[in-house]
Structure 1
């Protein structure tokens, strides 16, 4: 069976445009009751790695960086662990970072609150202009990537000039 891009009549650009112009993102697709993942999210066969998927039962673990003592003599060791995890894995989990649990829980509530807003409220923040103080989108590289990723994101910069409270959605304030 051929790939989607080889399917007669398939217009990827039109599908991308329809998805993008809806400004509903992945959550909007889910809320609409779709039963199949749209073609724009399919990874082209030539990009799929033939290696088996690795999971927890295979001993796969994301590196954990413990920041306890980062301001002291362990600093060089921690910096090296971060460098190594970034180079080899591209990600890591941070523990003992000092952020209080109530702050982390508050962030979770705010993020969920934003994505649970009515679509019309979220549209006010939709876009790909990363110079804006607060941006909501699905796939910053939607028109350039060979496949869309199954995610919606918010982006905001706190430095050097933090956004003013009114520039955030109400649930983030």
Structure 2
């Protein structure tokens, strides 16, 4: 069987992490994308100290001033220490979250030619950005990802593809900002 490096020599054959992962040539994660973790450094996922933090978003709008102050303090610390958290009681129905995830998957299922319309550029103010971290030529650890970004605030912008993305993302944006 060919190695990953042999299988992806031609840049046009693989254009994204998605296409690389779906290719028959992939039999291991390329070393540039691998992090070597010492097993002794791994956290026990059952240890409460290492549980993903959970933030009750309803406290920000309905809690006492002391509760709101504490949750903001907690958010700052969690973002500094963890970089992410689980948000609960945020007024976005599970059905809308699923629809947003499905619409996002729809974008990544588009043919590469259609996604190129939204290709990542150098302007940080672009309304849409699509790209990949795929580049085996670089000699450093990379992120194993394809991405797209859509600016939705202060003005709402959306992708015209896939078909329902604009409507779903508009409703999702309204709910996340409490505009119902």
CA contact (8 A) 1:23 1:126 kept: no
Which of 125, 130, 138 matches 1:136?
Answer: 130
- Taking structure 2 as the reference length, the TM-score comes to 0.70
- Verify: 1:105 aligned to 2:124, yes or no: no
Q: Where in structure 1 are there 5+ consecutive unaligned residues? A: 1-9
Tell me, yes or no, if the aligned pair for 1:139 and 1:151 is still in contact at 8 Å.
yes
SS in 2 for 1:40: helix
Q: 2:15·2:134 contact (CA, 8 Å) conserved in 1?
A: no
What is the aligned length?
A: 153
| Conserved 8 A contact 1:23-1:123 | no
Counterpart selection for 1:151 from 133, 145, 155: 145
Distance 1:128 1:139, change over 3 A: farther
Pick aligned residue for 1:54 from 23, 40, 43: 43
Structure 2: unaligned runs, 5 residues or longer: 167-180
Separation in structure 2 between the aligned mates of residue 120 and residue 99 of structure 1, nearest angstrom: 33
Structure 2 distance, partners of 1:82, 1:100, is 22
1:32 aligns with 2:23: yes
TM-superposed CA distance for 1:52, in Å, is 2.0
**2:62 pairs with 1:69:** no
Secondary structure in 2 matching 1:124: helix
